[in-house]
Amino acid sequence: MLMRKMLNAALLASALIAAPVLAHAQTVGPSGEAATQSAEIKLSDADLAKLKGKGYKAALLWHTSSDFTNAVSAGAKDEFAKAGVEVVVTTDAGFDAAKQRSDIETALAAKPNVILALPLDPTTSAEAFKQAVKDGTKLVFLSNLPAGYKHGTDYAAIVTDDLFQMGKQAADALAASIGKKGKVGYIFHDATYYVTNQRDQAFKSTIEKDYPDIKIVAEQGISDPARAEELASAMLLQNPDLDGIYVTWAEPADGVLAALRAAGNKHTKIVTLDLSEPVGLDMVKGGNVTALVADKAYELGRTMAATGLKSLLGEQTPAFIVAPALTVTKANVSEGWKESLNRDAPQSVLDAAK
C-alpha cells in the first residue's frame, strides 16, 4: 500500500488485480514473479560515475500525499541526488485516475529519463503511460502494474512491501502477546486488492501452520473502515472470550479498538498493519494494541530510484522487488517510526512512551 495510510495511502492504492494464492511462504508478484530483496539493488561507484554529469532528470508521480508518500519521495530523492539526477516534477493525483493521466502529460513535457509512480487504475494507466514507453522513459511502479505491460520492454520493475512478511510478523506478534495459545478473530479486507490480500492471507496461513494452539474462531470481511466498530462489536458479542484480533490495517483497527473499549474489554489484544497515531498511542499506553507491522517506505523510494537508474544504464533489473517489513512495539516505537516513515513519531506517542 495497497487505502493505506488513508486509508493509509499505499493501501488504497494497491493494485486492482487478483491476489496470487500464497502457495509458498513468500511474497510473489502480480503474475507470480519471485521476489528480489531491495537490499540487493545498489548503485555501484561505477554506476554513479556513469550517471553524473549527464543531465538526467526524474519525475515522481504519486497517487496521494501522506507520510507514506513523503517517505518514499525522500528515499527516491536522496538516491537520485547521489547520482546527480534532478527531480523535475512531483505530483499528487488525489486518488483520481483522470488527474493522474494529466499529471503524466505534464511530466512528459519536462522530458524525464526516469518516472516513479503508483498507477491508480490498470486500464487507464496503461493508456496514460503509453507515451512514456514510446519515449524510452524508464518506468518503475510502486505496487501496481498497468494492464498488459511487459517487464523489460514497458517497465523496469514493480517495487512493493514484503507482503508475506508483514502478515507473518503480525501473526508472530499476536501469538507472542497471548502466550501462543487461545482464540483469535480475523478481520480481513473483503475486496480484491493485491497488497491487502497477500498480507491478510499470510497472517492466516502463519497462524494455521505455526501455532497449533491458536484457533481462528471468528472471521469477518470488511470493505468500509467506517463499519469496523459495528462489525467488531458483533464479533465480540458472539465471541466474548477472544484473546486476540488481527485487523487488516490501522484505520479499521481504530474502530475495533473503540468496540473493545465500549465493551470494557482490556483482555483482547490487537495487531494491525501500518502506522497510525490513534492505535500507536493505545499501544504505548499499554492498551489493547500490542504491535503494529509496517513497511519501510523510505527504502521503497531508494530502491525505486536505484532500479530506474540501473535500467537507464542498460542493466537488467528484476521484475519484482520487495522492501522489508518492520514490527513496531512500545519498546521500539521511536526508532520504528523513523525507520519506516523517515520522520519522528507523533509527539503524543513519544510523550506517552516515556
User: From the first residue on, what is the mean pLDDT of each consecutive set of 10 residues in the chain (354 residues)?
Assistant: 39 37 68 93 97 98 91 97 98 92 96 96 92 97 94 97 97 98 97 89 97 98 95 97 97 97 97 96 98 96 98 97 97 96 95 94
For the chain, list the domains and their CATH numbers.
9-162+297-323 (3.40.50.2300), 163-296+327-353 (3.40.50.2300)
Determine how many CB atoms are found less than 10 A away from the CB of residue 285: 14
pLDDT of residue 2: 38
Cell numbers 505534464: residue: 106
Residue 122 vs residues 18, 21, 34, 148: alpha-carbon distances, Å: 12, 20, 21, 9
Q: Which three cell numbers stand for residue 54?
A: 549527464
The pTM of this model reads 0.88
Residue 301 vs residues 179, 218, 262: alpha-carbon distances, Å: 37, 37, 40
Beta bridge partners of 60: 90, 116
Residue 133 vs residues 60, 108, 280, 349: alpha-carbon distances, Å: 16, 11, 42, 44
pLDDT of residue 5: 39
Give the N- to C-terminal CA distance of the chain in Å, as an integer.
30
pLDDT of residue 11: 38
Query: Are 304 and 159 in contact, with CB atoms under 8 Å apart?
Result: yes
pLDDT of residue 8: 39
